[in-house]
């Protein structure tokens, strides 16, 4: 690449090229969930065995993302992005033709390794080629695909699995991947400031793979294995802690680390990383909770449950366009605070869920929640990366996404665990208040008994069925209360993000970044100001 400015047409061509691969990767993380029952029948496997189709992909993601900045420097940005695109597309095809579960899990690992680096790489690419006044719009367009993919995943995946075959959820990646390969080949270029490492940090790679891999397995399998009552989970947890501590020590001491942790010394980046951990925790778990609630409590199928999430996607699309234009003009901290406050309001609305809530009563809080995310992700990314030198962006986006992924996995593990534990506690409390002398209970039993007797059932059978229905209602009510508890926890998480906002500096557009970055290669990156 020369020092000549990048034309607007090429900037947007690059944006759409990397966006295609990113959307394909994000879509694949959610689309597979709804097809698991179909795969289970195809392979005659147990539910625990099928869970490895999801877990293997996430574990591979967790292992490769921390190294994405280093790998970009080793192979060059354009070549490495093409490697990731080819790896993901080819493994998608091989997943579709998988003859058995073992082969499918192996290909899902390959998919995870190919797909993991594309998000941090895409963020670094767009942050480099766009100046701040254009960057908000660019990130909004890119974020549109990122936010829409988890919404479409369950609906598209459910429809394809029901009407075609589960194998087609992998085959649909082929035309997207092939087109993306040619677009990336034509438009993407290598960054002029990347320096190829002089040696390979073997110890860093080994510690990273073991540490992040074990941590992801603990978070994914913990609830199903009853957490630390399981020897496997306890062993993995100890390994994760030991390896990650050793990894941090190694990276701080290495001359050319796999993941340069010094980036966390930047005030904005360090605080924003803590914020994205909490936001990832709340974002992933809140979407999961809505999907579970609609299917398990309200009895929606996968398609209808996906439609329940759709208003959130609409709200995000609208907010991203607004936030993209505002991010360079107003204080990003105010935008972030507004988004978190709005998110807290939407979660407060969700704490009022009932077992008979209608579709529209769920759609409105989902719209508000989706709208708030547009005012969270755009300004937070501006605050996080504004003070990072251009040559360190690839490493910074890798570190940022490591924290986001850990937050998301922690949120899902925390939400599902709390859901199960609080449901048991609420059920014990509710049943403790059920006794023959309770007038409300007696009235409800009589209503059910009369209902069954009106259908021609004898009085003895009607009484037994009435008791069974009352117990079922108690269990459902206990589950509803546990969902409300989870939403209260997510509300508290976003209030915690609000506390962090004042500790970050506002970002102001400047003509140059100062002494650290060559002006000829900087398209207009911002500098921080008090």
What secondary structure does DSSP assign to 398-430, as a single string?
HHHHHHHHHHHHHHHHHHHHHHHHHHHHHHHHH
Q: What pLDDT sits at residue 186?
A: 86
Helix (H, G, I), strand (E, B) or coil at 258: coil
Which of 352-356, 435-439, 509-513 ranks highest by mean pLDDT? 352-356
What secondary structure does DSSP assign to 301-323, as a single string?
-HHHHHHHHHHHHHHHHHHHHHH
Cα–Cα dist 194/305, whole Å: 45
CB 124 within 8 A of CB 394: yes
Q: How many other C-beta atoms are found inside a 10 Å radius of the C-beta of residue 441?
A: 16
Q: What pLDDT sits at residue 91?
A: 92
Q: What pLDDT sits at residue 404?
A: 87
Indicate whether 516 pLDDT > 50. Answer: no
pTM: 0.79
197-219 confidence digits (pLDDT tens) = 667 778 888 888 888 888 888 88
Confidence of residue 88 (pLDDT cuts 50, 70, 90): very high
CB 134 within 8 A of CB 7: no
48-81 confidence digits (pLDDT tens) = 677 777 778 877 888 888 888 888 888 888 889 8
CB 213 within 8 A of CB 62: yes
295-341 confidence digits (pLDDT tens) = 778 887 766 776 777 788 788 888 888 888 888 788 889 999 999 99
User: Exposure of 226 by Cβ count < 10 A (0-12 exposed, 13-18 middle, 19+ buried)?
Assistant: exposed
Cα 41–chain centre separation: 28
Q: What pLDDT sits at residue 338?
A: 94
Q: What pLDDT sits at residue 339?
A: 92
Indicate whether 506 pLDDT > 50. Answer: yes
Query: In terms of Cα–Cα distance, which of 184, 62, 139, 71 is closest to 386?
Result: 139
Indicate whether 522 pLDDT > 50. Answer: no
- Terminal CA-CA length for the chain: 35
Confidence of residue 529 (pLDDT cuts 50, 70, 90): very low
The pair of structure tokens assigned to 362 is 């769920």
Q: What pLDDT sits at residue 214?
A: 87
Give me the phi and psi of 506, to 5 degrees please.
Answer: -65, 150
Q: What pLDDT sits at residue 315?
A: 85
Cα–Cα dist 271/253, whole Å: 23
Please give the DSSP secondary-structure letter assigned to residue 296.
Answer: I
The pair of structure tokens assigned to 222 is 């913990």
Indicate whether 1 pLDDT > 70. Answer: no
Query: In terms of Cα–Cα distance, which of 102, 98, 86 is closest to 169?
Result: 98
Q: What's the Cα-to-Cα distance from 352 to each of 68, 365, 445, 484, 486, rounded to whole Å? A: 42, 11, 26, 7, 12
Task: Give the mean pLDDT of 236-252.
Answer: 89
């Amino acid at each position: 690449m020369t020092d000549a400015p990048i034309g607007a047409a090429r900037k947007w061509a690059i944006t759409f090229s990397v966006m295609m691969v990113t959307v394909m990767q994000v879509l694949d993380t959610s689309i597979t969930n709804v097809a698991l029952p179909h795969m289970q029948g195809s392979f005659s496997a147990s539910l625990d065995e099928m869970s490895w189709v999801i877990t293997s992909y996430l574990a591979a993601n967790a292992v490769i993302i921390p190294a994405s900045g280093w790998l970009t420097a080793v192979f060059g940005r354009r070549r490495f992005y093409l490697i990731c695109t080819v790896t993901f597309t080819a493994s998608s095809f091989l997943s579709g033709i998988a003859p058995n579960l073992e082969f499918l899990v192996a290909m899902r690992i390959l998919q995870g390794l190919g797909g993991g680096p594309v998000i941090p790489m895409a963020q670094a690419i767009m942050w480099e080629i766009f100046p701040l006044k254009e960057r908000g719009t660019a990130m909004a367009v890119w974020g549109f695909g990122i936010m829409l993919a988890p919404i479409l995943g369950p609906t598209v995946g459910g429809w394809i699995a029901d009407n075609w075959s589960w194998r087609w959820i992998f085959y649909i990646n082929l035309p997207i991947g092939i087109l993306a390969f040619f677009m990336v080949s034509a438009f993407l270029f290598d960054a002029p400031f990347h320096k190829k490492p002089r040696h390979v940090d073997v110890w860093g790679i080994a510690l990273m793979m073991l540490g992040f891999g074990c941590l992801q397995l603990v978070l994914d399998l913990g609830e199903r294995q009853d957490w630390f009552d399981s020897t496997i989970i306890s062993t993995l947890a100890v390994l994760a802690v030991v390896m990650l501590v050793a990894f941090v020590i190694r990276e701080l001491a290495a001359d050319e680390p796999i993941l340069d942790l010094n980036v966390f010394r930047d005030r904005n980046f360090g605080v924003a990383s803590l914020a994205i951990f909490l936001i990832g925790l709340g974002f992933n778990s809140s979407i999961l909770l809505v999907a579970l609630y609609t299917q398990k409590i309200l009895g929606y199928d996968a398609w209808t449950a996906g439609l329940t999430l759709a208003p959130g996607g609409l709200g995000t699309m609208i907010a991203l366009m607004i936030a993209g234009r505002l991010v360079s003009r107003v204080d990003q901290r105010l935008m972030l605070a507004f988004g978190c406050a709005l998110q807290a309001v939407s979660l407060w609305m969700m704490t009022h869920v009932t077992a008979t809530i209608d579709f529209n009563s769920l759609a409105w809080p989902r719209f508000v929640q989706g709208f708030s995310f547009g005012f969270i992700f755009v300004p937070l990314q501006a605050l996080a990366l504004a003070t990072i030198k251009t040559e360190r962006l690839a490493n910074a986006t890798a570190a940022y996404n490591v924290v986001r992924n850990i937050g998301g996995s922690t949120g899902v593990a925390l939400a599902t665990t709390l859901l199960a534990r609080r449901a048991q506690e609420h059920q014990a409390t509710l049943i403790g208040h059920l006794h023959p002398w309770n007038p409300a209970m007696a009235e409800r039993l009589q209503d059910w008994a009369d209902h069954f007797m009106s259908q021609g059932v004898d009085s003895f059978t009607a009484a037994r069925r009435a008791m069974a229905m009352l117990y079922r209602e108690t269990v459902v009510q206990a589950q509803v209360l546990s969902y409300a508890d989870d939403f209260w926890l997510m509300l508290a998480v976003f209030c915690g993000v609000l506390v962090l906002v004042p500790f970050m500096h506002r970002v102001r557009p400047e003509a140059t970044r100062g002494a650290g970055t060559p002006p000829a290669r900087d398209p207009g990156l911002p500098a921080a100001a008090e």
